[in-house]
Amino acid sequence: MKIALIGYGKMGHAIEALAAERGHEVTMKIDKDDPWPIESGKWKVESGKRPDVAIEFTTPATAVGNMLRCFETGLPVVCGTTGWYADYEKVVAECKARGGRLFTATNFSIGMNIMFALNERLAKLMCGREDYKVSISETHHIHKLDAPSGTAITLQEQIVESGKRKVESVPITSYREGEVPGTHTVVYDSEIDTITLTHEAHSRKGLALGAVLAAEFLAKAEPGVYTMKDILS
């Protein structure tokens, strides 16, 4: 599989290494100052270098434009950027209108997605237990641009929906420290006891692996919009 990396920062480098381990080739890298090799909606690259799928990890300000450009050229795109979800419906509509393929996730780590499942189950078990106050905390490296993280927002949305709680009763606290890859904690606290659910990433490798798995899935998928649930199922 030939991959285009849109965004070649630390995540891009981690994805490139993981892709090579799995027998794939990165044939295109587009970073913030690089022009797209496109003219009149078509790729200006050698046929042997044309990517089968793009993996996008950039910024909230540029992610939407990058995805729309991929749809325009018929390139399936895996988007790992967070913080752009106010435009989610617009992006999905454009993807469907062009018969494109899009894979989005607030977190590509398999372990984190298992935590999502646990969080949803715990929220259902705690539904109606007003004696427990719930909160979320997330810690990331100082370079992360959005706060709270998309992962923390997903955890919050799950608790609100599955636990029948108001969004203001599930506060999120964000910390930005050093080079922390990502730690997310959900706490249910009462006078009697405390229940804690935590996922701590040790490196970007888990995110990179999930992104490459998503690219492998998307390259063979039918047109549509997909998430990590499609892989885990």
The pLDDT tens digits of the residues spanning 38-57 come to 887 778 888 788 999 999 99
**Whether residues 15 and 104 fall in one domain:** yes
State if pTM tops 0.75: yes
**Whether residues 11 and 57 fall in one domain:** yes
CA distance 89 to 14: 29
**Whether residues 126 and 194 fall in one domain:** yes
If we measure between CA atoms, which residue out of 112, 174, 171 comes closest to residue 149?
Answer: 174
Q: Binning pLDDT at 50, 70 and 90, where does residue 133 land?
A: very high
**Whether residues 10 and 45 fall in one domain:** yes
The pLDDT tens digits of the residues spanning 98-123 come to 999 999 999 999 999 999 999 999 99
pLDDT given at position 41: 75
pLDDT given at position 43: 81
pLDDT given at position 44: 83
**Whether residues 92 and 135 fall in one domain:** no
Contacts 24+ apart (CB under 8 A), 104-107: 104/78, 104/79, 104/225, 104/226, 104/227, 105/80, 105/210, 105/214, 105/227, 105/228, 106/82, 106/149, 106/150, 106/151, 106/153, 106/154, 107/150, 107/151, 107/154, 107/182, 107/207, 107/210, 107/228
Average pLDDT value for residue range 28-41:
87
**Whether residues 183 and 210 fall in one domain:** no
Q: Binning pLDDT at 50, 70 and 90, where does residue 145 land?
A: confident
pLDDT surpassing 90 at residue 138? yes
- What total of structural domains would you count in the chain? 2
Strand, coil or helix: what is 183?
strand
**Whether residues 9 and 95 fall in one domain:** yes
CB 9 within 8 A of CB 33: no
The domain that contains 193 carries what CATH number?
Answer: 3.30.360.10
**Whether residues 104 and 17 fall in one domain:** yes
**Whether residues 117 and 227 fall in one domain:** no
Name the residue range of residue 158's domain. Answer: 110-200
CA distance 216 to 224: 15
Q: List the catalytic residues.
A: 140, 144
End-to-end CA distance of the chain: 23
**Whether residues 79 and 65 fall in one domain:** yes
pLDDT given at position 94: 97
Average pLDDT value for residue range 4-23:
95
**Whether residues 90 and 49 fall in one domain:** yes
Peptide bond into 37 cis (omega under 30): no
The domain that contains 50 carries what CATH number?
Answer: 3.40.50.720
pLDDT given at position 86: 94
pLDDT given at position 65: 96
**Whether residues 22 and 104 fall in one domain:** yes
